[in-house]
Structure 1
Amino acid sequence: MAGGNFVQRVMSYLVNELLVDSLANSRAFQRFAVRTSKSMEEMASLAAKKRQEIAEQVKEMSRNIESKNH
């Protein structure tokens, strides 16, 4: 049993290495990776801007509520 597990791990490692090498050398995959990375960066930037806008709106609402209560 232990020998089979070792062979399975070796085969898995070899397949993984072949897959990683083929993807790393693939122009199409590289373009996909760059586009995906740029999209993720844009989404993160947009999320940060929206978070800031919401924080400012909450502050403004708090000021309005405080001014009405005083």
Structure 2
Amino acid sequence: MAGGNFIHRVFSYLVNEVLVNSLANSRSFQRFAVKTSKQIEDISTKAAQKKQELAEQVKDFSKNFDSFKNH
């Protein structure tokens, strides 16, 4: 049983090395990775902006509510 486990690990390592190296050297995969990274960065930036806008809207609403409540 232990020999099978060792062979599995060696096979898994070899497949992983071939796969990683082939993807790392693939222009198509590199373009895909850069494009995906840029899209995620853009989405993160937009999410941070929306979060800030929402926080400002909640702050304004709170001020307006307090003003309304006190009158």
Which TM bucket (shorter chain)?
A: over 0.9
Q: 1:32 & 1:69 partners in 2: Cα distance? A: 54
Matched to 1:9, the amino acid is R
Residue 15 of structure 1 corresponds to which residue in structure 2?
A: 15
Task: After the TM superposition, list the runs of 4 or more consecutive aligned residues in structure 1 that deviate by more than 2 angstroms.
Answer: none
Q: Give aligned-pair identity as a percent.
A: 64
TM-score (norm 2): 0.97
**For 1:24-35, what aligned pairs fall within 5 Å after superposition?**
24-35=24-35
The alignment covers a number of residue pairs equal to: 70
1:50 matched to 2:61: no
Gaps of 5+ in 1: none
Gaps of 5+ in 2: none
Shift of 1:69: 1.1
TM-score (norm 1): 0.98
